[in-house]
Amino acid sequence: MSSRDAILQRIRTELAEAKPTEPPPVPEVWPSTGATSDAMIERFTTELETVQGEIIRCGSMDDARQKLAELINASEWQSLGAVDRPICREVTADLPADQVAWAKDDWDPNEIARLSVGLVAAEWLLADTGSCVVVNETTEQRLLCYLPPACVVVARVEQLREHMPAAWSEVARATAEADRRGEFVMITGPSRTADIEKILILGVHGPKRLVVLLIG
């Protein structure tokens, strides 16, 4: 056994024998104000639109299906790639089967980049920054957030949280799951960058357009 193998084996052994630890305490950075759903929706909308993001309110899942179809037609999107989550399956149920490509392992990045739009599901929405917290279990799911020129995030109103400290206990539990893989990504509007002359450019490092379908 080489030195490298010995070190890796020792790490594996230590991890296997490690006892579960309590999640870290919720940071007391911003105390909760007990904001209502309506107040959080208003704050989330304001913050998202400030960074050139878009939000489409949907009263029900049927309404969301209709509005997604209308958005696709109005934007002239020819192809849609989606993360295989229950809510993504539901919202695309009325679309032609050949219009939706589901994320798969070993998906060619060039193929992902040729998609018109990526559809992902949010785990939580943070009202104070207009951010979407998305869990990407694979590299292909992560690329789906970045490579297509547009990204649609679908979420329900009950997934809104006032800010990160309000969601921290849930995030900590999720990240502590033994079989958890991948990464948590915070998406706040479309990709934005500026040069030394402060000229704002959208879409350089990620999607040029971000739309949130908020159901409920």
Q: What is the CATH number of the domain that holds 189?
A: 3.40.50.10420
Establish if 15 belongs to a structural domain.
no
Chain CA centroid to CA 157, Å: 15
Tell me how many domains the chain contains.
1
Is 89 part of any domain? yes
Q: Is residue 133 part of a domain?
A: yes
**pLDDT greater at residue 6 or residue 62:** 62
The domain in which residue 196 lies consists of 37-215
Cα separation, 84 vs 102, whole angstroms: 6
Cut 0.85: pTM above it: no
Is residue 203 scored above 60 in pLDDT? no
Which three-class secondary structure string do you get for 132-185? EEEEECCHHHHHHHHCCCEEEEEEEHHHEECCHHHHHHHHHHHHCCCCCCCEEE
C-alpha torsion 41→42→43→48, nearest 10: 80
For residue 11, pLDDT over 80 is answered with: yes
Quote the CA–CA distance of 73 and 116 in Å, as a whole number: 12
Per-residue pLDDT at 13 exceeds 90: no
In a domain, 2, yes or no: no
The average pLDDT across 35-49 equals 95
pLDDT value at 103 more than 80: yes
- pLDDT of 155 > 90? The answer is yes
Q: How many C-beta atoms lie closer than 10 Å to residue 86's C-beta?
A: 8
What pLDDT does residue 89 have? 97
Predicted local confidence at residue 2, as pLDDT: 84
In a domain, 120, yes or no: yes
Is 138 part of any domain?
A: yes
The C-alpha atoms of residue 42 and residue 130 are separated, in whole angstroms, by 10
Q: Counting every residue, how long is the chain?
A: 216
Residue 71 covered by a domain: yes
Quickly state the pLDDT bin for 26 (edges 50, 70, 90). Answer: low
Q: What is the mean pLDDT of the chain?
A: 89
**What does the longest C-alpha to C-alpha distance in the chain come to?**
61
Q: What is the pLDDT of residue 173?
A: 86
**31-45, 64-78, 85-99, 194-208: the lowest-pLDDT one:** 194-208
**Does position 20 have pLDDT exceeding 60, yes or no?**
yes
Percent of the chain with pLDDT over 70: 91
Lowest mean pLDDT across 11-15, 128-132, 146-150? 11-15
Q: Is the pLDDT of residue 6 over 90?
A: no
Identify whether 70 is part of a domain. yes
